[in-house]
A = this chain, B = another copy of it.
Amino acid sequence: MRKELSRLRDLDRERGLLVHVGALLSWDQDTNMPPKAVGERSQQIAYLEGLAHDKFVVPEIGQLLGALGSTSLQPLGDSSLEPRERAYLRVLRREYDRATKLPSDLVSALARETSLAHAAWIEAREKDDFPAFVPHLERIIELKKAQASCLSGASMAAGATHYDALLDLFEPGSSEASIGQVFAGLRAQLVALLGKITSRPQVDDSFLRRSCSESRQAAMSAWVMGLLSYDLSRGRLDTVAHPFTTTLGVDDVRITTRYIEGYFPSGLFSTIHETGHALYEQGIAPGEEYGRSLLHEAASMAVHESQSRLWENIVGRSGAFWKGNYARLAELAGDSLRGVGLEAFVKSINRVEPSLIRTEADEVTYSLHIILRFELEAELISGRLAAKDLSGAWNAKMKELLGVVPPDDASGCLQDVHWSAGLFGYFPSYALGNIYASQFWAAMKKELPDIDTRIEAGDLASLLLWLRSNIHAQGATLLPGELLQRVTGSSLDPAHFVSYLNQKYSRIYGF
């Protein structure tokens, strides 16, 4: 390896160490920190973020990338380098450009405005006062457009939009046009499927509301983490208000869950979902010397989400999975599942019902909530929709896509934290994750055609091994689109997701 590459990796791994320490500060804040420490903790996190940023924007990194032939337009660098080294230069170049292209006054303005907007959003949601939030949303949109301009810079292709640059932050290589095309097809199919489902008698899930103690739910989590082979010598589970997965080191990937006494599936599927994320993180292995580097990261947000949803929905809500495991779950659940059979249970955890809140949505309607947000944020960033008109547009689209209309903005356009935090371009990852998951699943089935029989027999290891070698191990070596092409032989195609949903729900709802 050329000495420039070795030096780059050292600098990058130093950045990675600081990011991991910052992740511990955040994890501790959510799990253990005494309440009054919050002010100091914010300072500590901001300081560590600043250090990690400062380590990465030094001119030396630009010079080293240049010496290895990597430019913004030709990020892979010298063709004499190994493919993995070139892939590494590409992610380094992307991050370096992102970190250096933003003027510091824009970074400060974004930090300041999102901090103010977050507080304003909390108050506006509490008081159901959308107009009070509008000026904040307007300022954030302007700043995000400025950020997008800086990120695209001179390399902004003809026809490219500001929103493209924001999408690229979470899903490298994607665009408003490409995602728009995929979502447009999916939208129609989901609305049609939802129509079929809602025309059929609803399935019963009333027994899922029976009380179930936290200790029983904790036992379920421990059991299911074991079934999925989450390595607890390199991870752990804690409870929090809003579950997440976080990586504190190559050998320290922690998940969190939440137990609701009157609805145990929330905690159970939350644990499976986060375990799916953790299995990905624990399986990243682009080479020991790349530990903590930018190559030792997920391919994208959407690929990450594909792993959590694959385990939560395709596996965790399937009849095949519960065939061998339901008896044990019923034991652990005690009275909560007394007298409930396997078939009724599987139906109950797949109940579909249009609702107002994204985070409570089922597998069919969830992507519609996302498509709605994608369409609206694209319009907000382009200027086709004014911030002040968001509430009306939201409610109209809810009616159109889900057939329900929020009675207020608190359960409408003010329900998510994302926009107040400046996270435009993030939402699509959730729905893309569903599409990726189904497409990966279809590819896996070609190699493991008896996967359902294996899962019924309690063999989840075959699936994990396939995901490990095909998806997890590469880390960020491939762009998401390249990964998809390599693994499935085609580009992003929602047909697999639609077909999976139709097959599954035609059985559950009998149409």
The A interface is mostly helix, strand or loop, or mixed, namely helix
Which of the candidate stretches A31-39, A261-269, A345-353 sits at the interface with the other chain? A31-39
- The reply to whether the CB of A210 lies closer than 8 angstroms to some CB of chain B is no
- The reply to whether the CB of A233 lies closer than 8 angstroms to some CB of chain B is yes
- The reply to whether the CB of A251 lies closer than 8 angstroms to some CB of chain B is yes
Which residues 11-28 in A have Cβ within 8 Å of B in the complex?
A: 14, 17, 20-21, 24-25, 28
- The reply to whether the CB of A94 lies closer than 8 angstroms to some CB of chain B is no
Which of the candidate stretches A42-50, A157-165, A462-470 sits at the interface with the other chain? A42-50
- The reply to whether the CB of A105 lies closer than 8 angstroms to some CB of chain B is no
Which residues 221-252 in A have Cβ within 8 Å of B in the complex?
A: 232-236, 248-252
Q: List residues of chain B with CB within 8 A of the CB of A98.
A: none
Whole-angstrom CA separation of A333 from B62 in the bound complex: 65
Contact A32 B233 (CB under 8 A): no
Considering only CB atoms, which chain B residue lies closest to A20 in the complex? B44
Q: List residues of chain B with CB within 8 A of the CB of A248.
A: 37
- The reply to whether the CB of A40 lies closer than 8 angstroms to some CB of chain B is yes
Contact B21 A234 (CB under 8 A): no
Interface size for A (C-beta < 8 A) is 32
Copy number of this protein in the oligomer? 2
Contact B236 A34 (CB under 8 A): yes
- The reply to whether the CB of A41 lies closer than 8 angstroms to some CB of chain B is yes
Whole-angstrom CA separation of A232 from B33 in the bound complex: 10
Q: List residues of chain B with CB within 8 A of the CB of A21.
A: 21, 25, 44, 48
Q: List residues of chain B with CB within 8 A of the CB of A254.
A: 34
Whole-angstrom CA separation of A48 from B47 in the bound complex: 13
Contact A252 B34 (CB under 8 A): yes
Contact status of A34 and B250, CB under 8 A, knowing A24-B28, A25-B24: no
Q: How many Å from the CB of A117 to the closest CB on chain B?
A: 26
Q: List residues of chain B with CB within 8 A of the CB of A234.
A: 34, 36-37
Q: How many Å from the CB of A354 to the closest CB on chain B?
A: 41
- Interchain residue pairs with CB less than 8 A apart (18): A17-B44, A17-B47, A20-B40, A21-B25, A21-B44, A24-B24, A32-B32, A32-B236, A34-B234, A34-B235, A34-B252, A37-B234, A37-B248, A37-B249, A37-B251, A40-B251, A40-B252, A44-B249
Shortest beta-carbon contacts, A-B, top 4: A37-B252, A40-B249, A36-B251, A37-B251
Q: Which residues of A contact B (CB under 8 A)?
A: 14, 17, 20-21, 24-25, 28, 32-37, 39-41, 43-44, 47-48, 51, 232-236, 248-252, 254
